[in-house]
Amino acid sequence: MTDQAVETFVEFEEAPSLKREINWVHAVGIATGVPALVLFSIGAIASTVGSPSWLVWILSVLIGSFQMFTYAEVVGMFSNKSGGAAVAGSLAWLPYSKAVPAISAWCYWLAWSPVLAIGTTIASGYILTSFFPATSPINTWQITLIDLNFIQSGLTLRINANFLISAILLLVVFLIQHGGILRAARFQVIFAVASLLPLGIIGILPLLTGKADLHQLLPVVPLAHDAAGKVIPGKWDMAGITLFVGALGLAAWSSYGIEACLVYAREFKRPNVDVIKASLATAALCLFFYAVVPISFQAFLGLSGISDPSIADGSGVAGAMAKMVSTSPMVTAIIVAMLIITLLLSVLTAMSGSSRTLYQASTDGFLPKYLSRANSHGVPSNAMWTDIAVNLVLLLVSNNVFLLAISNVCYLVFNFINLQAGWIHRVDRPGQKRPYKAPTWLIAIGALLGFVNLFFIGMGSNVFGAGVLKWGLITVFLVVPIFLFRHYVVDKGVFPKALTEIAADGSGASDLHVGQAKWLPYLAAAAGVLVVTAGAYLAVN
């Protein structure tokens, strides 16, 4: 070990670090923002695939639930690390490629961090449309800064009223997070009651009152358009299958968020029991909301309703959901206000998770060193400021669906990397302590679902805009030069000592430099490339 590496380790140890002060209930409280993510893409998915959209959500959350068992085992093995599966899972790949753990952390951050920009943008849109007509100058003015037509037609960076309000909301969430994980968890519990209540009402009440007509869920066929451009039921040809796969892929960005509760394992008082309890409770919560809300939404609106342009871009989702409960202006205003709180809850969840991923990846030597600083409250403040800075830029992007789709490519790559980690850790570290050990068949299903996720990328990404697949994959690999600079220039090719002290029992017995799986991880990676390629070849856009 070089002096450089030792000094790096000492610096991490002497600086303030994350504190063990929450239990699984707090983690579930923070992760209650995950059901709120249904608001981000429920309109885009419904208007894209049509009547099968309710089935898309149910299948997606079931996939996310199966994957969670692999993540729970892996995170439990490394419970003294923050960042959840993005860090703990990716360490399985370290003996085979130094860059893969960096790509994993980067992809996870790029999956969660844009929630800040997208969530506050939707919330500010709800605020503006509640107080001003769509044609009002405050809703129509904008200053275009940069034309991004070379990425996607019509894409720009611009400043408008939505940007200004979103920036304010972003800073409010930052102030809540800045006081520590325990304070954030307490705020999150308050937000959860105020936000999950309207989602629950929206999901259940229309079914009880008869406002939701379950016949609207049928026939389960992708939508199509007739010669006049009118929306009609389609058929299960390759074009329809492409739409369905694309919708499944985009839904993953929301429903797979079940694993968000595992990001806080480093801050659990009793990680040996809190990890699996948090996982199961969050999965149950998400299974309910991701099934009931989309079913009621589609059963109320029908095919013609979900095809409305305001549903596709998200601006009309809050109004439509309010009408599912009541047509009273006062009730509508209350429901919209509660949905705004729901969106802020998801932003709070995302800021907690994404900043801790940056913090741990920096501590382990994969991302820039400054990100490993924590403040006196045990909060990764530099990582949070980085999140704020990046999302202030993302708030300028004119197309939220395109931004979400790019983020989703990164998230599905993360899922592939870390679902393979389950079996790689089993081969390489069979004797390492596992507070929770998943049944082997669930580890196998998780590995298979990793390839399914890559197929979603290949076949479904461009459903949400030409160039999403290309630019999404470019974004995935942008971290490589950042990692190479940190590892070979800053750290002189030596990882910090903290990286190797990772065993769940604190013994530091795990050897990250010996790979018993030999050529199998390389075979899995090569097969993954082939799956993406096959999906892109089969797609009919």
Q: What is the DSSP letter of 489?
A: I
Given a contact cutoff of 8 angstroms between Cβ atoms, the answer to whether 358 and 479 are in contact is no
12 band by pLDDT with thresholds 50, 70 and 90: very low
> For the chain, what are the domain ranges?
24-538
* pLDDT in the model for residue 506: 46
Give percent of the chain above pLDDT 90.
53
Cβ atoms of 12 and 372 closer than 8 Å: yes
Beta-strand pair 223-225/231-233: antiparallel
Ranges 185-189, 242-246, 289-293: which has the least confidence: 185-189
Contact 23, 269 (CB under 8 A): yes
Does this model's pTM top 0.85? My answer is: yes
Higher pLDDT, 354 or 59: 59
**pLDDT-derived band at 501, boundaries 50, 70, 90:** low
> pLDDT tens digits for 296-331?
999 999 988 888 888 887 878 988 999 999 888 888
Rounded distance, CA 420 to CA 443, Å?
Answer: 9
The confidence score (pLDDT) of residue 187 equals 61
Reading the block at residue 384, the tokens are 């949070």
Beta strand 156-160 with 142-147 is antiparallel
- The mean pLDDT value for 246-258 works out to 94
Instruction: Spell out the CATH class of 24-538.
Output: mainly alpha
State the virtual CA torsion across 119, 147, 388, 252 in degrees, nearest 10: 40
pLDDT of residue 10: 34
Q: Which two tokens stand for residue 116?
A: 């800040």
Query: What count of other Cβ atoms lies within 10 Å of the Cβ of residue 204?
Result: 15
